[in-house]
Amino acid sequence: MIRIQKVVLHHLSLKLKTPFESSLETVTDRESIIVEAEDQRGVVGYGEVVAFSSPWYTEETIQTCYHLLKDFLIPLVFGNSFEHPSEVQKVFKRLKRNQMAKSAIEGAIWDIYAKKQETSLALQLGGSRKEIDAGVVVGISNQKTMLNQIETYLADGYKRIKIKIKPSQDLSIVREIRKHFPNLPLMADANSSYKLTDINRLKELDQYNLLMIEQPLAADDIVDHRLLQSQIETPICLDESIVTFEDAKKAIELGSCKVINIKPGRVGGLTESIKIHDYCMDHAIPVWVGGMLESGVSRAHNIALASLENFSIPGDLSASTRYWEEDIILPEVEVRNGKIKVPIDMPGIGFGLNEQAIKKFTTKIDQFNK
């Protein structure tokens, strides 16, 4: 039984090595909240709030997550006990949405649970892979920079490259990349920057053999995506549109996508992620783990999740050094021959916290006791 007695929120401000540009926003400073939860036996687990400082990707922000954690979720966790982490989302259910806030504390409880079972989080989630394929994302910038980055990442061994696109920079960059790397496993993420009226542009992308196009249309749409999917060969992958298991079910039933990107933060936690994973597997929809420019804590959860069977496409899972001069976990995430080792012989998330690094990046600490 898990009875949470104490929660510490570590507010961090991390600096990305270089600004990351998508069709919606350029991220330079990455705020984050690390949730440290402790149970009645003193077992400690970690989770991470992956919301951004402003609501450009989904409606949540670091501040809305802080509010939810402080005023609703932490009190609910203190008021309940858990045989298994899958019960956490039931306790949270009467609070609408706020998936990233919920996911952060649920993730910490999953970590505690796995540690108490003296097994890895990957194993507890039902994962079977010992290593996973690494993928990396190239943000929007000029063509030369993007091409250089791709070359560097391929030399580093990455198996799959995702680029960010927008209507004013799509065909030209894809054409250029294909000229240099005709067989590269390549995909493009539009972060909902197109409209159905852009359908001819999107149809033109069809000729470049992309693995998929991610979230071309509106963040809250699954109907227009259905029409678009019926008109293009390239598989559509939904990201922003899938915030719950029900969303995934509806999108698949409608035929709005052929692939889904699962981010625990976006869907309210690991329990919901597994549910979506399992449903997609039954319906022959491959899934991959998406990234949030996160620190190593959320990355550790993502690696564990990616060890499940139907995560058959390399995710946005790159090395710590992709975004950080210094990550906040030990050891840092490493990519060797395009693979990341799943720490299956370690209890819980399988990475320790780098206390010194955390201290350096901390802007505020809150402690809550039951």
Judged by CB under 6 A, the stretch of 124-132, 195-203, 222-230, 289-297 that binds ligand OSB is 289-297
Residue 291 is a binding residue for ligand OSB (CB under 6 A) = yes
Residue 292 binds which one of ligand OSB, Mg ion, none, with CB within 5 to 8 A depending on kind?
ligand OSB
Report whether 156 belongs to an annotated binding site: no
For residue 21 the two structure tokens come to 């540009």
Residue 293 binds which one of Mg ion, ligand OSB, none, with CB within 5 to 8 A depending on kind?
ligand OSB
Told to judge if 341 belongs to the known catalytic residues of this protein, a careful annotator would answer no
CB 233 within 8 A of CB 205: no
Q: Which amino acid is at 92?
A: F
Residue 153 binds which one of ligand OSB, Mg ion, none, with CB within 5 to 8 A depending on kind?
none
Report whether 278 belongs to an annotated binding site: no
- Residue 33 beta carbon to Mg ion: minimum distance, rounded to whole angstroms: 22
- Residue 50 beta carbon to Mg ion: minimum distance, rounded to whole angstroms: 13
Residue 298 binds which one of Mg ion, ligand OSB, none, with CB within 5 to 8 A depending on kind?
none
Which residues, including other chains, have CB under 8 Å from residue 145's CB and lie 6 or more apart?
none
| HSE value, Cβ hemisphere, 13 Å, CA-based, for 87 | 11
Which of 184, 290, 198 shows the shortest CA–CA distance to 237?
A: 290
Judged by CB under 6 A, the stretch of 11-19, 104-112, 290-298, 348-356 that binds ligand OSB is 290-298
> Which of these is catalytic: 162, 164, 166, 275?
164
User: What's the burial of 1, exposed, middle or buried (CB within 10 Å: 0-12/13-18/19+)?
Assistant: exposed
- Residue 165 beta carbon to ligand OSB: minimum distance, rounded to whole angstroms: 11
- Residue 265 beta carbon to ligand OSB: minimum distance, rounded to whole angstroms: 10
- Cβ proximity to ligand OSB: between 146 and 292 the closer is 292
Which residues within the stretch 135-194 sit at the binding site for Mg ion (CB under 5 A)? 189
For residue 301 the two structure tokens come to 């959860």
- Cβ proximity to ligand OSB: between 310 and 318 the closer is 318
Which residues, including other chains, have CB under 8 Å from residue 94's CB and lie 6 or more apart?
none
Question: Where is 179: in which H helix or E strand?
Answer: helix 171-180
Told to judge if 263 belongs to the known catalytic residues of this protein, a careful annotator would answer yes
What is the x/- site pattern for ligand OSB, positions 189-218, by CB under 6 A? x-x---------------------------
Among 141, 316, 319, 350, binds ligand OSB (CB under 6 A): 316
What is the x/- site pattern for ligand OSB, positions 135-174, by CB under 6 A? --x-------------------------------------
C-alpha gyration radius of the chain: 20
Report whether 332 belongs to an annotated binding site: no
Rounded to whole angstroms, the Cα distance separating 322 from 76 reads 36
Rounded to whole angstroms, the Cα distance separating 136 from 23 reads 17
What is the x/- site pattern for Mg ion, positions 218-257, by CB under 5 A? ---------------------x------------------
Q: Are strands 26-39 and 259-262 parallel, antiparallel or unpaired?
A: unpaired
Question: Where is 177: in which H helix or E strand?
Answer: helix 171-180
Rounded to whole angstroms, the Cα distance separating 126 from 310 reads 11
> Which of these is catalytic: 263, 359, 360, 364?
263
Distances (CA, A) of 93 to 53, 81, 89: 25, 15, 6
b/e 209-224 (16+ beta carbons within 10 angstroms → b): ebbbbbbbbbbebbeb
- Residue 266 beta carbon to ligand OSB: minimum distance, rounded to whole angstroms: 9
For residue 130 the two structure tokens come to 């010992």
Specify binding-site residues: 189, 214, 239
Residues that bind Mg ion in the complex, under the rule CB under 5 A:
189, 214, 239
Specify binding-site residues for Mg(2+): 189, 214, 239
Active-site annotation, residues: 164, 263
